[in-house]
Chain A
Amino acid sequence: MSASAAPALPGMLAANPRLDQWVRFDSPGRVTVSTGRVEIGQGVLTAMRQIAAEELDVSPERILLQTGDTELTPNEGYTAGSQSIQFGGVALRLACAEVRALFLDHAASQFGHPRAALSVDDGAILHRGQPTGQDYWSLATSLDLARDATGRAEIKKAREHRIVGHSLPRVDLADKVFGGAAFLHDLALDGMLHARVVRQPRRGAMIRTIDEAAIRRAAKGPIEIVRDGNFVAILGADETTVEAAAAVAPGQVTWDNVEALNPFQEEARWLLQQPSIDKSYGAPPADPAPTARAYEATYTRMHIAHASIGPSCGLALYEDGHLQVWTHCQGAYPLRAALARTLKLDAAAISVKHVQGPGCYGHNGADDAAADAAVIAMRRPGQPVRVRWRREEEFGFEPVSPAMVVTARAALDETGKPADWTTEIWSGRHTSRPGGGGNLLAAEALPDPPPPPPAVEGPPPPGAGTRNGEPLYAFPAKRIVHHLIAETPVRTSSLRGLGATLNVYAIESSMDELAERAGQDPVAYRLSVLTDPRARKVVEHVARMAGWRAGMPAGIGKGRGIGFAQYKNMAAYAAVIADVEVDETVRVIHVWCAADAGLVINPDGAINQLEGGIVQGTSWALKEGVRLDEHGISSRDWEGYPVLRFSEVPEIAVDLIDPVVDRPPLGVGEASGGPTVAAIGNAVAHALGARIRNLPLTRERVMAALLRT
């Protein structure tokens, strides 16, 4: 093997190879580190500092972190898919390791020290452990980092880590706890105009009439009404005045070309009758001949809302031919491309900067709110424009996660294990981010709207609707059949877990039913078909955590269930056990989780993410489903769309398996949701002695299941 063979760079470093895009030493005593990944509540600001500080051998306090800014940071696409650390962090780690190595090479050649005798301590260059008087900042003037990474630098071993692997406190938390201006929503620029948009009820809807006088009367103060095509905005200097007008405005506009929805479509089964784009992955088609040893069951889920605690916000200023946009969306560069197309501007005339927002859990209204602000700002040059969505707007117009139907089908061998497995999936699209096809509400309302984004999803793994459709279990033949339904009653896009949530629910529910049919304990049955040692370890570990025992009585109103998946079949492994009590409703009492995320950068941060997935998964399982009426989404407040409250949250215990290890980090942010929903479903089936195949597990469905037993 040739010593000079260049290793393949990790994707994000290959796309942004220049080292000075990642690391600079412009400020005395400080290291400017850039990442395209942004803070969306997952703790990435803290973890990226740890990664850079570790490989550069500087204290984390020296790191000035720049994130998600088209003027300052590498283009890493979206902060999504639990990929910030697994891909973005790994790229940053290698860039930092190479920068450190370049400095040591440079110091060795400059001062004639043997390279092996040099080291770095908090940015200072040491020779045999003694100060040389040189440091990164003194050497930076004679070392040009405007060069491409080679990927040849060695990263540290886990046992050498002093910063990575420790639970550093979050750098962003104090500001939030003391009431600082921590969010985009809190920015106030001089001369700022507040704005609200009167939303088009559906794509293609056309304004018939607007009663502007009625809107102005409600405002009780000066407002402007801006209209272009079917885009209508209310703006003014005083937010209260603008909000008062916006509250009545939807009732003062009438629309043509609005097709009524069928409220029946809030449940998923209508998907089965729709035209679809069909694809198969994995093993060739199964033998269609019915066999005595066959299993088939169908599971459904309603549309799910991101339901961010704060409605989306966007801020924009158009001045001297340049548009500056501040956004809490997940992809600054893709938004810039979508805005350029919408506004017919050159991308170079637009800067997009991420500012923190409330947790989004996927593609919510953030991009749309930014576009709203940009469209209005273009019409008010020199004045900053702030759009903050209304609560009913957030629930009514954000893209939601699509309703789904999943059928699990197995042909069993003589021991009751699947010899052939099919996961057949019917779903609307799970990806319609604006960078991909101009999916921005403002653009659709303006004259000459773009066509709807094409319904395209990549193959698994990772997949989108197909995500986790392939069980990790060692069945001899496995396939996914995917029916992608392009036409859905409401706009749909990515939400934490994407298709994995229902796919894992279907697979893991089926595994419990197959275990029962084989007369085996659910944990033992899973282990009998699980060969991946890391998968086995999380299942075995969570069983120990919960004190799992085979043969606990069923149908007594108390139940215990397990769920397992490796997220995307390529990120973190998670096994979850849930204890529930069921009378007319389901209460989740206790949840245990064991996860293997490879090398863990910040253990408490990883546990926080897994806990969050458990709570959100519990909420999905018990409560969540978007309601529809003929006008669109009708669940437009927290009473119409209830989520889990404090008194309903289970006790939670999370263990990380082998977090200090020389393995790549695996994304953890979405790993626990699917297994949690599955574990709760299995626990409820255990408690009732009857299975509920349709989510959420509401009182009505529990009562119906009880009647069946």
Chain B
Amino acid sequence: MPSIAFTVNGKTVNVTADGDTPLLDVLRNHLGLVGTKFGCGLEQCGTCMVLIDGEPAKSCGKAVSTLAGRNVLTIEGLGTPQHPHALQQAFLDEQAGQCGYCLPGILITAKALLDRNPVPSRREIAVALDDNICRCGSHARILRAVERAAARMREGASR
């Protein structure tokens, strides 16, 4: 089986796996990074969202063979309880979630949005998050949380 080297959350990893193995399985089962969730395996629900070289990607549909030399960011690399990302802090401040299973994927999609558009409108946030399903109905809070994070990041940048 081939060994594939790439970067996850700033660390180089060498993964020995069949090249067709979905990145999601590599993250969860080979690397123990279980923050990224399985939702459908069909690239329809967004629970498995990660950033690959800064672009949002559904890891259930990404073969690990395509990742050699690339940079992957998962929810574990977004921030920590000690050093939360502005988005994570805003989701806690807004209590944006119910069961919470969709949240890692949503946080990653939101990061990709704010990286390319620091001043998104409510509508732009909603459209960006259309790639993610929340079944509990926490949408209103999630939209508020992304707006709050965007505002906080702009304040931070202008300091």
Report which A residues bind B (CB closer than 8 A): 40-43, 167, 169-170, 172-174, 176-183, 185-186, 188, 220-221, 238-240, 243, 307-311, 356-359, 361, 388, 390-391, 604, 608-609, 611-616, 619, 637-639, 643-647, 649, 651-652
Whether B107 sits at the interface, judged by CB under 8 Å, is yes
In whole angstroms, how far apart are the Cα atoms of A459 and B100 in the complex? 35
Query: Using Cβ atoms and an 8 Å threshold, which residues of chain A touch B95?
Result: 167, 169-170, 173, 604, 608
Whether B32 sits at the interface, judged by CB under 8 Å, is yes
In whole angstroms, how far apart are the Cα atoms of A619 and B134 in the complex? 11
14 inter-chain pairs at a CB distance below 8 angstroms, sorted by A residue, are A172-B100, A179-B34, A185-B37, A185-B38, A186-B28, A188-B34, A309-B47, A309-B99, A359-B99, A361-B135, A391-B41, A391-B42, A611-B141, A637-B40
Pair A240/B29 contact, Cβ less than 8 Å: yes
Interface centre among B33, B36, B42 (most CB of A within 10 A): B42
Whether B130 sits at the interface, judged by CB under 8 Å, is yes
Fill in one digit per residue for B127-159: 1 if any A CB lies within 8 Å of its CB, else 0.
101101111111111110000000000000000
Query: Using Cβ atoms and an 8 Å threshold, which residues of chain B touch A183?
Result: 37, 101
Whether B56 sits at the interface, judged by CB under 8 Å, is no
Query: Using Cβ atoms and an 8 Å threshold, which residues of chain A touch B17?
Result: 240
Whether B54 sits at the interface, judged by CB under 8 Å, is no
Query: Using Cβ atoms and an 8 Å threshold, which residues of chain A touch B142?
Result: 646
Query: Using Cβ atoms and an 8 Å threshold, which residues of chain B touch A612?
Result: 98, 136-138
B47: min CB distance to chain A, Å: 6
Contacts of B56-93 to chain A: CB distance below 8 A: 74-76, 78-81, 84, 88, 91-92
Interface centre among A182, A243, A604, A646 (most CB of B within 10 A): A646
Known A173-B92, A179-B75, A180-B35; judge A646-B99 contact (CB<8 A).
no
Pair A646/B132 contact, Cβ less than 8 Å: yes
Whether B39 sits at the interface, judged by CB under 8 Å, is yes
Beyond A240-B18, A359-B99, A613-B137, 12 additional contacts (C-beta under 8 Å) are: A41-B100, A41-B136, A176-B104, A179-B33, A182-B100, A188-B34, A310-B101, A391-B40, A637-B44, A638-B40, A645-B130, A646-B130
Give which listed residue, B81, B91, B130, B140, contacts A652 with CB less than 8 A.
Answer: B140
Pair A647/B127 contact, Cβ less than 8 Å: yes
Please name the residue on chain A nearest to B132 by beta carbon: A646
Please name the residue on chain B nearest to A173 by beta carbon: B97
In whole angstroms, how far apart are the Cα atoms of A649 and B135 in the complex? 12
Query: Using Cβ atoms and an 8 Å threshold, which residues of chain B touch A609?
Result: 98
Give which listed residue, B42, B126, B143, contacts A638 with CB less than 8 A.
Answer: B42
Chain B binding site: helix, strand, loop or mixed by DSSP? loop
Interface size class of B (residues with CB under 8 A): 35 or more
Fill in one digit per residue for B93-123: 1 if any A CB lies within 8 Å of its CB, else 0.
0010111111110010000000000000001
Whether B21 sits at the interface, judged by CB under 8 Å, is yes
In whole angstroms, how far apart are the Cα atoms of A646 and B81 in the complex? 27
Query: Using Cβ atoms and an 8 Å threshold, which residues of chain B touch A179?
Result: 33-36, 74-76, 78, 104
Chain A binding site: helix, strand, loop or mixed by DSSP? loop
Interface centre among A221, A361, A611 (most CB of B within 10 A): A611
Pair A646/B98 contact, Cβ less than 8 Å: no
Pair B138/A608 contact, Cβ less than 8 Å: yes
Query: Using Cβ atoms and an 8 Å threshold, which residues of chain B touch A176?
Result: 97, 100-101, 103-104
Which 6 residue pairs are nearest across A and B when measured between Cβ atoms?
A: A179-B35, A615-B137, A41-B99, A176-B100, A179-B75, A612-B137
Query: Using Cβ atoms and an 8 Å threshold, which residues of chain A touch B107?
Result: 177
Pair B99/A40 contact, Cβ less than 8 Å: yes
In whole angstroms, how far apart are the Cα atoms of A619 and B80 in the complex? 34
In whole angstroms, how far apart are the Cα atoms of A406 and B40 in the complex? 34
B98: min CB distance to chain A, Å: 4
B36: min CB distance to chain A, Å: 7
B133: min CB distance to chain A, Å: 6
Query: Using Cβ atoms and an 8 Å threshold, which residues of chain B touch A390?
Result: 41
B140: min CB distance to chain A, Å: 5
Pair B92/A174 contact, Cβ less than 8 Å: yes
Known A308-B135, A611-B141, A643-B135; judge A177-B97 contact (CB<8 A).
yes
In whole angstroms, how far apart are the Cα atoms of A486 and B100 in the complex? 36
Query: Using Cβ atoms and an 8 Å threshold, which residues of chain B touch A238?
Result: 29
In whole angstroms, how far apart are the Cα atoms of A608 and B134 in the complex? 13
Query: Using Cβ atoms and an 8 Å threshold, which residues of chain B touch A177?
Result: 84, 88, 91-92, 97, 100, 103-104, 107
A202: min CB distance to chain B, Å: 24
Give which listed residue, B81, B100, B139, contacts A649 with CB less than 8 A.
Answer: B139
Pair A240/B44 contact, Cβ less than 8 Å: no
Query: Using Cβ atoms and an 8 Å threshold, which residues of chain A touch B34?
Result: 179, 181, 185-186, 188
In whole angstroms, how far apart are the Cα atoms of A609 and B95 in the complex? 12
Pair B81/A178 contact, Cβ less than 8 Å: yes
Interface centre among B18, B25, B44, B100 (most CB of A within 10 A): B100
In whole angstroms, how far apart are the Cα atoms of A183 and B28 in the complex? 13
In whole angstroms, how far apart are the Cα atoms of A131 and B99 in the complex? 42
In whole angstroms, how far apart are the Cα atoms of A258 and B47 in the complex? 35
In whole angstroms, how far apart are the Cα atoms of A388 and B18 in the complex? 21
Pair B76/A359 contact, Cβ less than 8 Å: no
In whole angstroms, how far apart are the Cα atoms of A185 and B37 in the complex? 8
In whole angstroms, how far apart are the Cα atoms of A707 and B93 in the complex? 48
Interface centre among A40, A182, A388 (most CB of B within 10 A): A182
In whole angstroms, how far apart are the Cα atoms of A243 and B28 in the complex? 14
Query: Using Cβ atoms and an 8 Å threshold, which residues of chain B touch A180?
Result: 35
Pair B137/A614 contact, Cβ less than 8 Å: yes
Pair B126/A647 contact, Cβ less than 8 Å: yes
B33: min CB distance to chain A, Å: 7
Query: Using Cβ atoms and an 8 Å threshold, which residues of chain B touch A644?
Result: 139
Known A173-B92, A176-B97; judge A310-B47 contact (CB<8 A).
yes
Query: Using Cβ atoms and an 8 Å threshold, which residues of chain B touch A649?
Result: 126, 139-140, 143
Known A611-B141, A637-B44; judge A358-B21 contact (CB<8 A).
no
A415: min CB distance to chain B, Å: 39
In whole angstroms, how far apart are the Cα atoms of A600 and B97 in the complex? 19
In whole angstroms, how far apart are the Cα atoms of A516 and B25 in the complex? 58
Pair A178/B99 contact, Cβ less than 8 Å: no
Query: Using Cβ atoms and an 8 Å threshold, which residues of chain A touch B45?
Result: 309, 638
Query: Using Cβ atoms and an 8 Å threshold, which residues of chain B touch A174?
Result: 81, 92
In whole angstroms, how far apart are the Cα atoms of A645 and B137 in the complex? 10
